[in-house]
Amino acid sequence: MTKAPFKVVSVVYELRAGDSKGDVIEKVTNEKPAEFLLGAGKLIDAFESQVSDLNKGDNFEFRIDSDNAYGPVKEEAKVDLPITAFQIDGKIPEDLLQPGKVLPMKDQKGNPLYGRVVEVQEQIVKMDFNHPLAGMDLHFKGKVVETRKPTEKEISNKKIESS
């Protein structure tokens, strides 16, 4: 399958869990539309394929099942870490280990990842490294507010530069 040429798409949308009646996860409005570089491989493939042929003014509504979004919840991504791993200068910052808090961390190879604190015990911190939307079907409803050709810099960086 040949990838289509790069294209910048700006959209407003409402993302809901499951279907059109699910809880609102995110709402992107006209005040600050989401802008994507299609073809760069940075989006969920199923999302990109749904919006890639749309033009300015086009409305969209579609559902992406969890397997084609962020995948199922993986039990192996839930781990127990020693509380000492969170020490900075021999101390654990007071507000660091709060259940529900998402912490930037690194894997064994030094790659960045994010983990959510699930539970704090005396010697162990239970962490969940699943994507927050793992295991969830996603429902998008929105509108394309702009499309344009990307700049050479955007293509070479494979991302949109923030202004």
88-115 residue pLDDT tens: 888 888 889 999 999 999 888 988 999 9
The pLDDT tens digits for 26-68 are: 999 999 999 999 888 888 999 999 999 999 999 999 999 999 9
- Lookup: tokens for 132: 């927050």
Dihedral of CA atoms 132, 135, 141, 145 in degrees, nearest 10, equals 50
Hunting for tokens 């991302």 — which residue is that?
159
What residue ranges of the chain are covered by domains with CATH 3.10.50.40? 7-70+133-157
Q: Tokens 């295991």 correspond to what residue?
A: 135
Q: Which fold has domain 7-70+133-157?
A: Chitinase A; domain 3 (3.10.50)
Q: Kindly report, residue by residue over 21-30, the tens digit of the pLDDT.
A: 999 999 999 9
How many angstroms separate the CA atoms of 110 and 143, rounded?
38
Token look-up 């930037």 returns: 104
Average pLDDT, the chain: 91
Q: Judge whether residue 137 has pLDDT over 70.
A: yes
Domain with CATH 2.40.10.330 in the chain: 75-128
Contacts of 44 (CB under 8 A, 6+ apart): 64, 68, 69, 70
Topology of domain 75-128 in CATH is Thrombin, subunit H (2.40.10)
